[in-house]
Amino acid sequence: AGGGRLLDKICKWYYNAAGFNKYGLMRDDTLHEDDDVKEALRRLPEHLYNERVFRIKRALDLSLKHQILPKDQWVKYEEDHHYLEPYLKEVIRERQERATWNKK
């Protein structure tokens, strides 16, 4: 149990050290947009996509102004949910399935 708490503390420290949360971004907002991520983004419900676009535009604006959000507006480790992950897993699974099918 003690090892889990230590790992959780390290994860929280790393999350905050990365710095994207200071701009209001979530982890999934920072993923490199390869073909799989682009397809997962295309499948996102409109409200999730719009929220992502807002966060990214706000972060770009803050970055250009050399500012960060007030600390009470930073995305907290506990609040960051992997909104893109289910769609990305589905896209990867489908791509792997197609590759397996094409080998036959």
Which pLDDT tens digit goes with each residue over 13-50? Answer: 999 999 999 999 999 999 999 999 999 999 999 999 99
**pLDDT score, position 87:** 98
Q: How far apart are the first and last CA of the chain?
A: 47
Residue 77, helix vs strand vs coil: coil
Q: Does domain 2-103 have CATH number 1.10.1090.10?
A: yes
DSSP letter assigned to residue 29 = G
Q: Do residues 55 and 28 make contact, with C-beta atoms less than 8 angstroms apart?
A: no
Q: Do residues 91 and 47 make contact, with C-beta atoms less than 8 angstroms apart?
A: no
Chain mean pLDDT for the chain: 95
Give me the phi and psi of 38, to 5 degrees please.
-60, -40
